[in-house]
Amino acid sequence: MGRSPCCEKEHTNKGAWSKEEDERLIAHIRTHGEGCWRSLPKAAGLLRCGKSCRLRWINYLRPDLKRGNFTDDEDHLIIKLHSLLGNKWSLIAGRLPGRTDNEIKNYWNTHIRRKLLSRGIDPSTHRAVSAISSDHNNKDKSSSSSNSEESSPSWRRRRQQQQQQRPLFRVPDLNLELRISQPFQESHDAADIQSKGMLCFVCSSRSKQCKCNISGGGGFLGLTTGALDYRSV
């Protein structure tokens, strides 16, 4: 759904305002104030659109409007505000009493813009045109020089040498071979081990007369103890 029109434009006057229409609009606003622009034309007895009445009052009929050409101080202020705010004409007009945003915009495009260009200043960036062109040339030169350097054989050789000198990360070798052996003990000679007997993995003794009976049944690691037999697992 679009916005509804401010009034019926079929029976409204268009074009230049007459002196009589200006006087009616001024007299109504002085008596009743600005109010609602949608209902103002009918109350003032004008066959005009509400938007047309508002623009006519703001841009031409307001008593605080400043007439005449822009002064040098206003030119400097407009240039300074434009460098800070850009094309925000309503904000710039708020700093210049008696001037409208539409008036300042037209004055910028017709006078100040040409004045800055004649001085060698870019109206958009407020910088010297020569400085902007030199920045572009420096960027182009730096990009071209970097591209030419990368394409040179010497640069490629240095690149390869740097890559070769970098330490490579290597995964250490892991020995995953599992072995089952006797617990670590102090070293003994073979005669000492034979005199003390074999090691029992159940009671951890070296007695020849071990009650665990691992030598007679041929059990593996002493697993044939009691009712538990590893061969039945």
Given this model, what pLDDT does residue 220 score? 47
Q: Are residues 77 and 102 in the same domain?
A: yes
Does 52 fall in a domain? Answer: yes
Q: Are residues 76 and 111 in the same domain?
A: yes
Given this model, what pLDDT does residue 180 score? 61
Q: Are residues 78 and 57 in the same domain?
A: no
* Cα(191)–Cα(32) distance, integer angstroms: 129
Query: To which residue do tokens 């229409």 refer?
Result: 21
Q: How many CA atoms lie within 13 A of 37 on its CB side?
A: 13
Number of domains in the chain: 2
Given this model, what pLDDT does residue 74 score? 94
Q: Which two tokens stand for residue 213?
A: 């009976």
Does 84 fall in a domain? Answer: yes
**DSSP string covering 179-226, please?**
---PPP-----HHHHHHH-PPPTTT----TT-TT-TTTS--STT--BT
Q: Which two tokens stand for residue 12?
A: 């409204």
Does 27 fall in a domain? Answer: yes
Given this model, what pLDDT does residue 185 score? 54
Give me the domain span that covers residue 53. 19-61
Burial class for 43, CB neighbours closer than 10 Å (0-12, 13-18, 19+): exposed
Does 125 fall in a domain? Answer: no
Q: What is the CATH number of the domain that holds 93?
A: 1.10.10.60
Q: Are residues 78 and 44 in the same domain?
A: no
Q: Are residues 57 and 76 in the same domain?
A: no
Nearest one of 78, 75, 98 to 88, comparing CA atoms: 78
Does 32 fall in a domain? Answer: yes
Does 33 fall in a domain? Answer: yes
Q: What is the CATH number of the domain that holds 44?
A: 1.10.10
Given this model, what pLDDT does residue 157 score? 77
* pLDDT in single tens digits along all 233 residues of the chain: 556 555 566 678 888 999 999 999 999 999 998 888 999 999 999 999 999 999 999 889 988 898 889 999 999 999 999 999 999 999 999 999 999 999 999 999 999 999 999 989 998 888 888 765 555 565 655 555 555 555 667 777 777 777 766 665 555 665 666 566 555 555 455 555 455 555 555 565 555 555 554 444 444 444 444 444 445 44
Q: Are residues 76 and 107 in the same domain?
A: yes
Query: Is pTM, for the whole model, over 0.85?
Result: no
Q: Are residues 57 and 80 in the same domain?
A: no
